[in-house]
Structure 1
Amino acid sequence: MDLFNTEKISNILPYDGIVNYYGKVLKLSEAKHFYDCLLQTIEWKNDEAIIFGKHIVTKRKAAWYGDSNYAYTYSGTTKQALVWTKELLELKKITQQHTGETFNSCLLNLYHDGNEGMSWHSDDETSLGINTAIASISFGAERKFSFKHKKSKQTFSVMLETGSLLLMKGATQSHWLHALPKTSIIKKARINLTFRTIVL
């Protein structure tokens, strides 16, 4: 018996890329279990960035895990991958089964409330290769995730529910920016896992 939905997932991007939104792939009780475990077991640290030569420490916290001690550089700072936790390996397996992709690393972000977000950017670092696949699983507060085309400036958004899965692949990072807009309405925390593949 096939436990997973093998129906073709439609592309929610209008052009120049592929974004598949699978919706909730975990039951509410499962999502809560993983949310609680991730809060307690992940080695969260305030994220850092170099912006216009200035060193910034964010309120948002982050962590980087992988198959090996991969170095990942973004926003002018470098992280060394930690060893997978039991829960992260379970979530990687679920993500790979749904998407058909294979991942060797994961960047996690902890947003304490809606006042913390992510500005427009593309995940186009050299270490990820060209036209890479990135899968995102969300836990906790439901948040809006937005896309903006680099040339046409067309924008659209999708609400990411707790326990939901989204996959960006194809030329998405080359042609589109994405962001997690800030909002004063959201008072609860959100944990986001982005499974990636470091090119060796």
Structure 2
Amino acid sequence: MSFLFPDQNLLPFDGEVLYFPNFISNDFFEKLKEEINWKQEGMKIFGKEVAFPRLTAWYAENGKTYTYSGLKNIPEEFTESLLLIKKKVESQAGVRFNSALLNYYRHGNDSMGWHTDNEPELGENPVIASISLGGSRKLQFKHKATPKSTQNIILEPGSLLLMQGSTQHHWLHQIPKVKEAEGRINITFRRIF
């Protein structure tokens, strides 16, 4: 799916998702791959510890923690690269972010299952700003009440995706597994209350 107008809402109803291609230099990919303190975290499923199919990292101001999938993330301080990217994203989004969850998808088997970013510390209608670096990957949306309502978006290197309004109340999203894929880093800037 390609979009002629960056301010066009990509969702047909019940939310707002905006896509900005060529937003930032893809040169940040190699730098972040090396300087971020990546971790192989996991969660318990039916009493068994299962590793996330990707590497993750949590960076935030003022010791802001973030809990999802039963995992409490203790923050590291923003790197200079992350601060540069954050400033540019804040200018476009009109929001001051105080945290960033990073995901490193090393290959096509790394993925993120269906979920919403609806944790209480994100507030009522969170704005999530997602930067993509490295290879392209497909992002899928599925409406909670009408699962046949779906949207597929190819997240290109250097792009920005903004999820805002009531999106997290009504839509699930995922990065599915694929046969082959280049490495991809995703930075999701958030505001923790």
TM-score higher than 0.5: yes
Q: Is the 8 A contact 2:141 2:150 kept in 1?
A: yes
| Aligned pair partner of 2:23 in 22, 25, 46 | 25
Q: Give 1:51 shift.
A: 2.5
Runs of 5+ unmatched residues, structure 1: 1-6
User: 2:46 is matched with which residue?
Assistant: 52
Which amino acid in 2 is paired with 1:20?
A: L
Q: Paired residues, what number?
A: 188
| Aligned pair partner of 2:11 in 10, 13, 18 | 13
Report the identity percentage.
45
| Aligned pair partner of 2:187 in 188, 193, 196 | 193
User: 2:168 is matched with which residue?
Assistant: 173
What is the CA–CA distance in structure 2 between the aligned matches of 1:36 and 1:23, rounded to whole Å?
Answer: 19
Q: Is the 8 A contact 1:50 1:77 kept in 2?
A: no
Q: Is the 8 A contact 2:126 2:191 kept in 1?
A: yes
TM-score (norm: length of structure 2): 0.94
Secondary structure of the 1:82 match is coil
What is the CA–CA distance in structure 1 between the aligned matches of 2:144 and 2:53, rounded to whole Å?
Answer: 28
Q: Is the 8 A contact 1:51 1:75 kept in 2?
A: no
User: 2:74 is matched with which residue?
Assistant: 80
**Structure with higher strand content:** 1
Q: Give 1:61 shift.
A: 0.5
**Residue 150 to residue 193, structure 1, CA distance change in 2 (3 Å):** same
What is the CA–CA distance in structure 2 between the aligned matches of 1:55 and 1:127, rounded to whole Å?
Answer: 25
User: 2:110 is matched with which residue?
Assistant: 116
TM-score (norm: length of structure 1): 0.90
Q: Is the 8 A contact 1:104 1:198 kept in 2?
A: yes
Q: Is the 8 A contact 1:71 1:80 kept in 2?
A: yes
Report which stretch shifted further, 41-50 or 134-143: 41-50
What is the CA–CA distance in structure 2 between the aligned matches of 1:128 and 1:51, rounded to whole Å?
Answer: 24
